[in-house]
Structure 1
Amino acid sequence: MYVSEWENGKRTLSDRYAVILRQLLGVTDAELRGGRASVPGPATADGYDELLSRIDSAGSVSESMVKAFNDQTELLRTMDRQMGASGLVDQMTGHLSRLEDALDFAVLPSARRPVALALAGASTLAAWQAIDAGAVERAWRHYELAKRAARDAEEPMYLAHAMGEQAYVLCEAGRPSLGLDLVRDAQRILGQGGSPRLRAWLYSAEAELCAHVGLSDDCQRALDRAAASIPPGPEDRDPDMLSIFLNGGHLARWRGNVLALLGDSEAVTSLYGALEVVDPTFVRAQAGLHADLAQAHLVRAEYDDAGTHLRKARLLANRTGSVRQRRRIELLSARL
């Protein structure tokens, strides 16, 4: 009688009976309560029809469908850059879910690789958005997903980039030395391959982590390697790694940030040079640049200038809803 009422929704399945039924049927709680496994009677093979249907659907993912996935990632990246990540959580979650579903049921490497590559790029973006929102555990899990997808795609560039960004989670959690080790492992994985912009990005990340650890000589060497690796000219988008935006102007800002962390008075010159060429559509980056300038002025005890840049940084951080930037701004404000 209970079984009939459970099936018809007339009685709620209690935890007590759920434990018994899970053991009898060999199903998980989610399968039991979600209706994927039949409650009464012995297990059946009916699930194979659905499985094959999903495998067939995943196997037929076309080049145009992968392009649609990547176009969606690019749209979300643009929206994030200009407006911040706070309003994109649901869209990003749904996007990742669709990509994961397509990859889970793709069987052959020829079908898996392009989807895995799209998932690696989307997961890294989602992870950085989670860092910006202060959701560090979600960020970590997204980076782990990005790394698995990059390995599935056999794409060391995407793996190295995900590892490099994941190092920032460790740094902000108070483990900069471990983050530095992870960045250097990413460099070893990339080797002499990969794009010049990605190599410059990894060297810059290494320099920043070195500054947090207090390795000033290693920091300077990494900055010099980044400067030697970056291609000349104003172009900033990496055609081989679309999540990388880096040119001489961006590198000047990064260098200024690192020098400010070291307490070097030359940081101000580098940062003002970056301020003159910053792309106005990079709203969150502008907030970070003004925070960098505030920090550099504080090192020189120029409190009025520091306060001016902190106000600009706060305005931009509020506009994008960046929890990470606001936390940094408050820490700097306490030093005024």
Structure 2
Amino acid sequence: MYVSEWENGKRTISDRYATILRQILGVTDAELRGGPLAVALPMADGYDDLLSRIDSAGSVSEDMVESFNCQTELLRTMDRQMGASRLIDQMTGHLAALEDALNFSVLPSARRPVALALAGASTLAAWQAIDSGAVERAWRHYELAKRAARDAEAPMYLAHAMAEQAYVLCEAGRPSLGVELVRDAQRTLGQAGSPRLRAWLYAAEAELCAHADMPDDCRRALDAAVRSIPPGSEDRDPDMLSIFLNGAHLARWRGNVLALLGDDDAVTSLYGALEVVDPTFVRAQAGLHCDLAQAHLVRTEYEDANTHLRQARLLASRTGSVRQRRRIDLLSARL
């Protein structure tokens, strides 16, 4: 009688019976309570559904993977102009579709391109989560990105995900552990990556060293980044589309790091970067004004610092960046 009522949804399964049924049926609690038919004995029909999903994943063509990548690119563009807060639903659906395609792909030739697309999308989603203040979600997305990069046998994507994940540790108050992780990312990459990615990794190391109060290591990493960056104005890495870095971007990053160290040279670097910053990178502009405010505070130039904080606050409001608003509040408290 109970079984019939459970199957028809007329009676809720108590914890006592749930413990017994999970052992009999070999199902999880979520599966057991997942619907009216959840307690039905497993049937061989499940193989039909499994094979259907495997066939569907196996039919993912190069054009389909390219469509996934185009969607990631669209979300990346919207993110840098509008911020992450408006994109959560689109990003969640995009990741779910990619992960589903990967989970049911069988052969390596089918898995690798999907895994590579998932790695790129997951790091974007993770950085958006950091910007929104959702640090646990960011951590889980980076773990997904790393698994996908390993599946794709893509050391560049793996190193990038590891180094960005180090920022979660820094935000959580463990910058020294973040330094260890970004250095491990550099070892993971070895000589396999592009010069632009190596420069990015050195710059990330420098920033984390600044937060960890390691000034000598910080300056060595900055010098290595400058030596590694390719010449010219091109900023997009053709081998890793999530990396935007050229000499001008690196100058801004260097200014940010020097400001963290309290170095007077920070102001010169940052104003130079402000003159050439891409206006479509709204969040980056907000960060640049924050950096200038911090640099002026070090020099006790409070009026200039306040001017840049006001501009940073306006830009951060446009993108809804929780991370930047927190930084603005901390800097404002020092005025």
Asked whether the two chains share a fold, i.e. TM above 0.5, the reply is yes
Distance 1:168 1:9 in 2: 47
The structure 1 segments of at least 4 consecutive aligned residues displaced by more than 4 Å after TM superposition are 35-38
Residue pair 2:262, 2:295 contacting (<8 A) in 1 also: yes
Which residue of 2 is the match for residue 319 of structure 1? 318
Give unmatched runs, 5+ long, in structure 2. none
Secondary structure of the corresponding residue to residue 93 of structure 1: helix
How does 1:103-118 map onto structure 2 within 5 Å? 103-118=102-117
How does 1:108-257 map onto structure 2 within 5 Å? 108-257=107-256
Residue pair 2:7, 2:36 contacting (<8 A) in 1 also: no
Q: Which amino acid aligns with 1:33?
A: R
How does 1:93-112 map onto structure 2 within 5 Å? 93-112=92-111
User: Equivalent pairs: percent with the same residue?
Assistant: 86
Distance 1:16 1:98 in 2: 37
Residue pair 2:85, 2:320 contacting (<8 A) in 1 also: yes
Which residue of 1 is the match for residue 44 of structure 2? 45
TM-score for both structures, normalised by structure 2: 0.97
CA displacement 1:120-147 (0-9 Å, x = unmatched) = 0000000000000111111011101100
Q: 1:91 offset after TM fit, Å? A: 1.1
CA displacement 1:167-208 (0-9 Å, x = unmatched) = 111111111111001111111111122111101100100111
Distance 2:16 2:267 in 1: 66
Residue pair 2:146, 2:158 contacting (<8 A) in 1 also: yes
Which residue of 2 is the match for residue 21 of structure 1? 21
Q: Which amino acid aligns with 2:111?
A: R
Q: 1:35 offset after TM fit, Å? A: 4.2
Residue pair 1:27, 1:37 contacting (<8 A) in 2 also: no
Which residue of 1 is the match for residue 10 of structure 2? 10
Q: CA RMSD in A?
A: 1.3
| Change beyond 3 A, Cα 1:252–1:268 | same
Q: Would you say how many aligned residue pairs link Structure 1 and Structure 2?
A: 335
Residue pair 2:293, 2:305 contacting (<8 A) in 1 also: yes
Q: Which amino acid aligns with 2:324?
A: Q
Q: 1:70 offset after TM fit, Å? A: 0.6
Q: Which amino acid aligns with 1:183?
A: V
Secondary structure of the corresponding residue to residue 170 of structure 1: helix
Secondary structure of the corresponding residue to residue 197 of structure 1: helix
Q: Which amino acid aligns with 1:22?
A: R
Distance 2:214 2:128 in 1: 29
Secondary structure of the corresponding residue to residue 134 of structure 1: coil
Secondary structure of the corresponding residue to residue 242 of structure 1: strand
Distance 2:31 2:47 in 1: 15
Which residue of 2 is the match for residue 65 of structure 1? 64
Asked if 1:273 is matched to 2:293, the reply is no
Q: Which amino acid aligns with 1:111?
A: A
Distance 2:124 2:144 in 1: 11
Secondary structure of the corresponding residue to residue 203 of structure 2: helix
Q: 1:213 offset after TM fit, Å? A: 1.7
Asked if 1:76 is matched to 2:47, the reply is no
Secondary structure of the corresponding residue to residue 113 of structure 1: helix
Residue pair 2:53, 2:104 contacting (<8 A) in 1 also: yes
CA displacement 1:92-141 (0-9 Å, x = unmatched) = 11111111111111111001000000000000000000000111111011
Residue pair 2:159, 2:188 contacting (<8 A) in 1 also: yes
Distance 2:127 2:164 in 1: 8
CA displacement 1:259-306 (0-9 Å, x = unmatched) = 000000110000000000000000000000000000000000000000
TM-score for both structures, normalised by structure 1: 0.97
| Change beyond 3 A, Cα 1:238–1:111 | same
Q: 1:11 offset after TM fit, Å? A: 2.9
